[in-house]
Amino acid sequence: MPVLGMGGLFFRARDPAALSAWYRTHLNVGGGCSADDSVPPNEWVWQVRGGPMVFSPFKQDSDYFGADKAFMMNFRVSDLDGLLAQLRDANIEVITKAEWDHPDVGRFARIHDPEGNAIELWEQPVAPT
């Protein structure tokens, strides 16, 4: 297949500059950020690490995220507990539910950006050694 992966995610914002700064500051996401230490930052791109990505339409009446929103982002993270502590220290509300977590799938948490967009944080399960 010619498609290799996601090339970008584009969405509307009331204040694009402020929202971009929030994502860079709290999640290291967006232009100029790099999750791969071997790749230097580039002001236009977010350098990500390869790995799985779920691409899944939801039913129109799903209550998994806000009915007034057309999308929800999901970010893979490597240290969920550490990130949640940083977010809480920045007074960002964190939602966790035991029923979201599963040993075969991983652990989840949810936050919302300043414009109310849901962001799911996903830590994959540790592979058995």
In this prediction, residue 51 carries a pLDDT of: 84
Sign of the C-alpha dihedral computed for residues 57, 62, 64 and 68 taken in this order: positive
Q: Give the HSE-up count for residue 45: Cα atoms under 13 Å, Cβ half-sphere.
A: 11
CATH 3.40.50.1100 fits 71-129, yes or no: no
Phi, psi of 76 (to 5 degrees): -75, 135
In this prediction, residue 32 carries a pLDDT of: 92
Question: Quick one: average pLDDT of 38-42?
Answer: 86
Question: Is the pLDDT score of 128 beyond 70?
Answer: no
Phi-psi label, residue 43: left if phi above 0, alpha if psi -120 to 50, beta otherwise: alpha
Q: How many whole angstroms separate alpha carbon 54 and alpha carbon 12?
A: 22
Q: How many whole angstroms separate alpha carbon 25 and alpha carbon 20?
A: 9
pLDDT, one tens digit per residue, over 17-29 is 999 999 999 999 9
Q: What are the sequence ranges of the domains in the chain? A: 13-49, 71-129
Q: Are 46 and 31 in contact (CB under 8 A)?
A: yes
Question: Is the pLDDT score of 126 beyond 70?
Answer: yes
Q: DSSP code of 2? A: -
Question: Is the pLDDT score of 129 beyond 80?
Answer: no
Question: Quick one: average pLDDT of 74-80?
Answer: 93
Using alpha carbons, select from 67, 84, 66 the residue that is nearest to residue 122: 84
User: Hey, what long-range contacts does 37-46 have (CB within 8 A, 24 or more apart)?
Assistant: none
